[in-house]
Amino acid sequence: MNNCKSEVYHEKQVKQMCALHALNNLFQQPCSFSKEELDSICQDLSPDCWINPHRSALGLGNYDVNIIMAALQSKGFEAVWFDKRKDPMQLELNNVYGFIMNIPSNCRFKFVVLPFRRRHWIAIRQVKGYYYNLDSKLNLPQKIGTSTELVDFLREQITSPEKELFIIVSKDNEQKKLWLQDVNDNDNDNKDPDNNKMSDS
């Protein structure tokens, strides 16, 4: 994988704002969301809580999945949890806007790695024909490559029980399940009508 500059928008990590960075990196816009907007969503979801359960009590970020899902819904998108028993090859990538992953991350204080881990959000998005890992902890966007290389990348990532993958799709595509291929239909399409055997592809 290559690290790339150029036209790929990539916010880098500040405090515990990885959810904010993941959203802005996903939409490839610096102002898709602000800290104030995400804090407002936190308040809307839990208006009567003195300590909001969806973010850091210190106001440093650390937003949970509910905030990401609500933020996406405000722009007409849904975050669909991917069942890791499925193969990413079954994804209909033409109907997928991007991906957000939740992964474990080491905690640091200055240059010291602390003996516990927290959760970290990263975005994956296609830009001008290639997919990129837009993890805000990377110095530069990491080029994953083609759709085939993306599938291999996702397949490797979801082997970890500590990682979760969310498919970002439009509300219409989510309702019609257009982000997932019909495996049975694909199997039928690949059959040789002359000998009823699976054809090579």
| Annotation marks residue 64 as catalytic | no
Amino acid at the residue 168:
I
Q: Measure the CA–CA gap between 54 and 20, rounded to whole angstroms.
A: 13
Q: Count of alpha carbons within 13 Å of 69, Cβ hemisphere only?
A: 11
- Strands (DSSP E) found in 37-134: 77-81, 98-109, 112-127, 130-133
H or E element at residue 175: helix 171-175
> Which of 10, 18, 21, 54 is flagged as catalytic?
18
| Annotation marks residue 21 as catalytic | no
First to last CA, the chain: 26
> Which of 10, 21, 54, 120 is flagged as catalytic?
120
Q: Which residues of 48-81 are buried (b: 16+ CB within 10 A; e: fewer)?
A: eeeebebbeeeeebbbbbebbbbbbeeeebbbbe
> Which of 42, 48, 135, 200 is flagged as catalytic?
135
Q: Based on C-alpha coordinates, what's the Rg of the chain?
A: 19
| Annotation marks residue 54 as catalytic | no
Active-site annotation, residues: 18, 120, 135
